[in-house]
Amino acid sequence: MEDLVESILDYIRSDYTDYAIMLNGEWGSGKTYFWNHKIRNKIESMMLNGKRYRTIYMSLYGISNLEEISKKIFIETTQLMDKNLKKYMDISGQNTIPEYAKTGLDMANFFGVTQNGDKLDYGEFFSTDDKVLCFDDLERANVDVIDILGYINNFVEHDHIKTIIICNEKELSTKLKSSNLEMKTFIATYLLDKEGDLIKKTDKPMVERIQDTIEYVFDKANDYERIKEKLIGETFEYAPEFNYIISGLLMRYERYPDLIRFLRENTALIISTFNKSGTRNLRILKHALNDFKKIFDMVNKSYPNTNHRVMQTMLIFTIAISFEIKAGKVTKDKFVNINSNEEYKAILVSSRVFMDNRQFYIKEFDNNYYYNFKAEYRFFKFIEIYVRTRIFDMKVFKDNMEVIINTVDTDKLPGYKRLLTEEYWKITDDQFDGVINEVLDDVKNGRLKPIEIVKLFAYFSYFIKKGLINYDIKMIKSVFMTGLNLASLNADFCENVEEELDQVSVEVAGPEMEEIIKYFNEINSKLEDKMYMEKAEDVFKNIPMKMEIFYDKFAKECMNVPIFKYYDTFQMFQRISCASNEDIVTIKEMLSERARKNKKQIEPEIPQIKKLKQVIDDYIDGKETTIKIVMLQDFSLELGKIIEKYKPKLLPQKQENM
């Protein structure tokens, strides 16, 4: 970053320049902050040829005509010559005049009013060799960019004023191409029609032909490149030092001792979450931190003893959801229907089972922002509402906090959750034995989820290895095996085993751990079968009486799941044979499409498909031909085509040489 500063200062130091320089970077990445805190002060401290340089900064954001730019330059220039105004600004720490004050100054100048009778020093007014112009937000002006650059070129080429242009060229390019797009498309289509190209047969799509014509006729991008080549001598890519800038952002909270202490302690967490957002937009981070100040104040006011880990998670969640919503990465409704942390966790578990796009997004969100960060409570509805709607809903806030206090607060947290969600060394020595005994009792009686028992075994193995608990590893393994058996009686299938085991914060390897994992996998496989059997019953029971429900459930939940593996073949045949002829055809087509798109996923059910085909064939054998029989014959033929896809292809035998 210092190299970039020196390169810009070298341009200012040059005796003679007839070009401007450009600072290019993404929106919100801190370019203006860089100008104010790294460049401006250094330029104004420079003394060259007996003169001290002055900077004149103008944001072009919203400028609708070139006259407004002239007005801004005039006001910024004359304020440099007004001694009383400059003295006031130095004392008050003002760098620029507020917009409302500029309006007053503008009117005063219009009516010929001077400040305290001072007359303009025309020698200073016409001086150009001690001024540096900075034009910011070029891409956000409401004036044609070509016109603005031509206007700026007058200062650079004729007056040789040092000029810096700050912009986002990526957005500038998009703006040049998308302006007046409807009119351009209409004219391009008209020209293609006049030339007979609309009906001409070609491999190039119509959209592409229209786009080519637009670029040929309205090539503003080339105009921009030509004037840029004439005006801009050097373009510098702004690659910000985010750690430095983020530390600067935190300084605005120095007046709030509790908040700034918390933010300073968690600076690494802020930077990490910012980096995981995949954007370079510091403006969104600034807004997120402002939102967190409100959240921090409300929590500390109403629930002053809130767990530190919960506050850290709130910080992550506030920043993460701000970026997801405000950076345009997702539509706001992705989180609308999630009303609690329990619903959020349920979606994480079911994401691969039910193939819902929103569920996949939530899974990705969680894996990204909470990677290597253990927390029991990771979704805060009141924060989601606040970021999305700007309304701080007190009722939802209180409801969320009451649940947190009762389920996450360390003083009320069960022993097994303290091991699984906190660093174990935070448990005091006088509490540790009690936690171990409580966990053992929960495991022994099967009160926990099977996956939790596996994770806890890792901790117990580690504690035995470190000498923290005096138990025989084989005896502990036997207790945990018994616990797994009991827990499995009322447990659900665990879909994300690897992710769950990755949350264990101690490293354990050994034959006992391998045996526990193997035994758990056997149990979990049986739970998966049970889950799919229940799902199969729930889906297929709708044939033949509630076909619309069947079609909806099958399309959403069974297209990539080997669901036929989990349903009785004879019962399936009875349901299909009782369906209407039209429904038999529809089911046949669905199965064909399903096998085409999800061949690998449904392979485990092929034995049941073969059996179903055989049952159908046995039924129709020797039957008098009716429409129903023909439909079932066609159904059987389609099943045969599906089965054929899974037959191994035989390699052609080589002919022996005669």
Of 213 and 346, the structure prediction assigns the larger pLDDT to 346
pLDDT band at residue 260 using 50, 70 and 90 as cut-offs: very high
Is pLDDT of 331 > 60?
no
Contacts of residue 617, defined as CB under 8 A and 6 or more positions apart, other chains included, come to 636
Give the C-alpha separation, 297 to 280, whole Å. Answer: 27
Please name the helix (run of DSSP H) or strand (run of DSSP E) that holds residue 352, with its range, or none: helix 341-354
The β-bridge relationship of strands 131-136 and 162-167 is parallel
Mean pLDDT across the chain: 82
**C-alpha to C-alpha distance for 79 and 89, rounded to whole angstroms:** 10
Least confident segment among 22-26, 291-295, 448-452, 541-545: 22-26
CA-angle at 40, arms to 73 and 240, nearest 5°: 120
pLDDT tens, residue by residue, 536-554: 999 999 999 999 999 999 9
**Chain centroid offset of residue 57 CA:** 34
Instruction: Provide the residue ranges of all domains of the chain, joining segments of one domain with +.
Output: 2-176, 242-412, 418-530, 541-644
pLDDT at 633: 95
Of residues 144 and 81, more confidence is placed in 144
Cβ-in-10-Å burial (0-12, 13-18, 19+) of 250 comes to middle
pLDDT for residue 77 = 63
In sequence order, what DSSP letters do the residues of 196-247 get, joined into one string? Answer: T-SSS--SS-HHHHHHHHHHHHS-HHHHHHHHHHHHEEEEEE----HHHHHH
Span 257-267, mean pLDDT? 92
Q: Omega into 98 within 30° of 0, i.e. cis?
A: no
What pLDDT does 315 receive?
A: 96
Q: Are 557 and 355 in contact (CB under 8 A)?
A: yes
Predicted pLDDT at 635: 95
At residue 374's C-alpha, the angle toward residues 369 and 380, to 5°, is 60
Q: Which of 139-143, 243-247, 585-589 is predicted least confidently?
A: 243-247
Mean pLDDT of 179-191: 60
Q: Which residue has the higher pLDDT, 151 or 348?
A: 151
* Average pLDDT estimate for 445-470: 93
Task: Give 29's contacts (C-beta < 8 A, 6+ positions apart).
Answer: 238, 240, 280, 281, 282
DSSP 156: I
- Using pLDDT thresholds of 50, 70 and 90, give the confidence band for residue 123: very low
* DSSP at 154: I
What is the predicted pLDDT for the residue at 111?
46
Tokens of residue 535, six digits? 């799902």
User: Which residues have CB under 8 Å from 301's CB, separation 6+?
Assistant: none
Among 75-79, 124-128, 254-258, 301-305, the range scoring the smallest mean pLDDT is 124-128
The pLDDT value recorded for residue 351 is 46
Read off the pLDDT of residues 564-576 as tens digits, 9 standing for 90 and up: 999 999 999 999 9
Q: Is the dihedral of CA 539, 544, 547, 549 positive or negative?
A: negative
State the pTM of this model.
0.49
CATH of 2-176 among 3.40.190, 3.40.50, 1.10.287, 3.40.720: 3.40.50
Least confident range from 119-123, 144-148, 489-493: namely: 119-123
pLDDT of residue 417: 83
Distance (Å, rounded) from C-alpha 60 to C-alpha 337? Answer: 40
HEC secondary structure over 31-60: HHHHHHHHHHHHHHCCEECCEECEEEEEEC
Burial of 181 (0-12, 13-18, 19+ CB in 10 A): exposed
SS3 at position 165: strand
User: What percentage of residues in the chain have a pLDDT greater than 70?
Assistant: 78
Mean pLDDT, to the nearest integer, of 87-95? 58
Please state, in angstroms and rounded to a whole number, the distance separating the CA atoms of residues 397 and 382.
Answer: 5
d(CA 537, CA 535): 5
For residue range 593-651, list pLDDT tens digits in order.
Answer: 999 999 999 999 999 999 999 999 999 999 999 999 999 999 999 999 999 988 876 55
* pLDDT score of 289 more than 60: yes
CA distance 379 to 374: 13
Give the DSSP H or E segment for 181. Answer: helix 181-194
pLDDT over threshold 50, residue 101: no
Query: Would you state the pLDDT for residue 446?
Result: 94
